[in-house]
Amino acid sequence: MSKVKRKRYKKKRYVLPVVFILLVIIIRLSLPYLVKDYVNKVLADIPGYYGHVEDIDISLIRGAYTIHGMFLNTVEGNTEIPFLDFKKTDISVEWNALFKGRIVSEIEMQQPTIIYVFEDQQQDTTTVADTEDWTKALTDLVPIDINQLTIKDGKFAFVQLQANPNIDLNLTNVQLTASNLRNVIEKSRTLPSSINATAISIGNGDVYLDGKMNLVKEIPDMDIEFGLENANAKALNDFTNHYAGIDFDEGSFDLFGELAIADGYMKGSFKPILKNAKLIGKDDGFLKTLWEGFVGFFKFVLKNHKKDTLATKIPVEGDLNNVKTRVLPTITRIFRNAWIQAYKDVIDDDLDYQDATQGADKRK
């Protein structure tokens, strides 16, 4: 081989690896922008909503990408308050599962916020996202099963801005773990995902939730139980004042419940318990004091004086488009708590998923 040909061969031998490395670098540098455009397109294709992400980081070694500043809101909402506001979401492949022949992912969300603004969600929208819209968005963003979902320091809130003062019922410091979240709609009735959560309510009450769910449906199927303990009743004053014309001067509030949903049919019960509650405040006007005194009289008659509690158990049942509260059992259970036996501040555990499935079958 001549010296000229040998030099050309050496140049080609080095050129190809250099070109390959340059291509890898270019692809790596452009990948976050390509993924960002893709995610924004997925969010834009959900009818009735608009969304955006600020930035995306890629970690090829971990097999992960991190979404920064993702929000989603209704198209016809009156406010600029995002319905979903996720500060940081990390989506990664679980390597341990790969060695077992399974391709699954882990999602960790830091400081996610979900704010249900009553006025925004009550708008009559002509384009409403259905099951397939949400399922497609989920499977496009996370095209494999989610083995573990973790939420750290989240916030969930219900806000009604037209109330005076504004109503803000919120849960903070939400810590949630959920496992085996599948992204395929199944024809059979199963609850493949387990969920466990704790939080702090308004009035510094302790909240806990435990159960099983099937999330990939327009209305998720579920069988859950939850409790709220030792919340300061005064924190509910904006809500109770707006809807009942009363406020609390002192006392604590507990709430225990069970809820089962199958194919949009719900069956459940809620057990609110007021402890050591006092209604009349020193600064109330005459008419308001008169009304609260009237309510307070019935509270005195209907409370359990031994436990100093006012409680009932409220059964709810029906299609979620037409849920009915059974009034008579609710009233009779107030008397039961007052005069027969006080309700215990625990979850009764007398409801399961089969109760909802039977109701759904009867509806057909």
**Over residues 96-125, mean pLDDT:** 71
Q: Compare 44 and 12 and report the one with higher pLDDT.
A: 44
**Which pTM does this prediction carry?**
0.72
Query: Is the distance from CB of 113 to CB of 155 less than 8 angstroms?
Result: yes
**Tens of pLDDT, residues 181-192:** 765 555 567 788
DSSP letter string, 6-68: HHHHHHHHHHHHHHHHHHHHHHHHHHHHHHHHHHHHHHHTSTTEEEEEEEEEEETTTTEEEEE
Mean pLDDT is highest, among 51-60, 116-125, 280-289, for 51-60
Question: What is the mean predicted confidence (pLDDT) over 309-313?
Answer: 78
Give the mean model confidence (pLDDT) for residues 66-84.
80
- Secondary structure of residue 73 in the 3-state scheme: strand
What is the residue extent of each domain of the chain?
29-184, 231-364
